[in-house]
Structure 1
Amino acid sequence: MAQANTGDEVQVHYTGKLEDGTKFDESEEEPLSFTIGENRVIPGFEEAVTGMEPGDEKTVEVEPEQAYGEHREDMVMEMDHDQIPDEVEPEVGQQLQLRLENGQTVPVLITALGEDSVTIDANHPLAGRTLIFDIEVIDVAEGSGSPDGGGGGEGGNIVTP
């Protein structure tokens, strides 16, 4: 049997839980497919699958640094209420899209409302959390991937949800 290595396409079933047992994601009936080394899943998940063979199962704990990073206070911002489009009635817990200066959009969560301000959080909802995954490898197909990275930016305006 083939061990999963960089460049291999793998199919896995998984369940993702928080430390308190709350389930936040699972593959359900359809397995997750990805190529190791293409950075399409969090680093800790990719690392956990590397070396596994079809039929292998394990439970791993992934620290924030290998998942969605630490919760960063610099990604929590207060905006004037008039920066929100008129057609949006802001509510705590509502998700909006923030348009960055480079044209990209990122999801943000409204965490507080003031009389004239809105507090938004651009952190990933799982940032700062230790994640626990139950993983079962279904298949490993040898291949050669081409790792690539993503980009980012700062500053922006809220766009409609």
Structure 2
Amino acid sequence: MRMSQVGDRVLVHFVKRYADGAVRSSPDAAPLGVTVGTRHPRLPGLWGELVGLKAGDTARFTVPADRAFGATDPTRVVCVSRTRFAAEATLTPGRPARMRLSGGRSRRVRVIEVRAKDVLVDANHPRCGQALDLEVRLVAFEASTAPAN
């Protein structure tokens, strides 16, 4: 039976378990296509863990915080003008909010403190500094990487 190698395109189902107890999984959705040995934005820390698996195999591992969502970066805690938020936005310390950026884009931030003219926010990823427990089942090899008969 074929074993996965770096560069293979495979389909996987996954279960992510976060340090705060939250669980996200894909079994009810279509399998996710990934390339073995490369980074994937939805499955941080996965790149080398699929090597050597066969269709139907499951890998369970813990992704350390620095490889999962990164360490907390204190330079991403900044004070910004209240005008960066929609006038009707409810800004509550500890809660997320959408902050306007240049060019019409926006970014989700966590409100730390609301002041008269400005807001102290944390623009780090909401799960930075947290490890991730990941369970990945290799469902199948994509046809484009199947061995020739």
Q: Give the TM-score normalised by structure 1.
A: 0.72
**Higher mean C-alpha displacement, 106-115 vs 120-129:** 106-115
Distance 2:84 2:44 in 1: 35
Distance 2:33 2:51 in 1: 14
Partner residue of 1:18?
18
Contact 2:61 2:133 in 1 (8 A): yes
Distance 1:14 1:68, change over 3 A: same
Partner residue of 1:150?
none
Partner residue of 2:98?
96
Partner residue of 2:69?
68
2:113 equivalent to 1:112: yes
2:40 equivalent to 1:53: no
Please give the root-mean-square deviation of Cα atoms over the aligned residues, in Å.
Answer: 2.5
Q: Secondary structure at the match of 1:49?
A: coil
Q: Secondary structure at the match of 1:12?
A: strand
Partner residue of 1:131?
132
Distance 1:114 1:96 in 2: 17
Structure 1 residue 137 displacement after superposition: 1.3
Contact 1:17 1:23 in 2 (8 A): yes
Q: Secondary structure at the match of 2:134?
A: strand
Q: Secondary structure at the match of 1:2?
A: coil
Distance 1:2 1:119, change over 3 A: farther
Unaligned runs of 5+ in 2: none
Can you list the C-alpha shifts for 1:44-86, whole angstroms capped at 9, x where unaligned? 1222223221111121000122111111111111123234332
Unaligned runs of 5+ in 1: 145-161
Distance 1:88 1:19, change over 3 A: closer
Aligned residues: 142
Distance 1:81 1:116 in 2: 6
Distance 1:143 1:136 in 2: 19
Partner residue of 2:39?
39
Contact 1:98 1:108 in 2 (8 A): no
Distance 2:128 2:140 in 1: 30
Contact 1:19 1:130 in 2 (8 A): yes
Q: Secondary structure at the match of 2:121?
A: strand
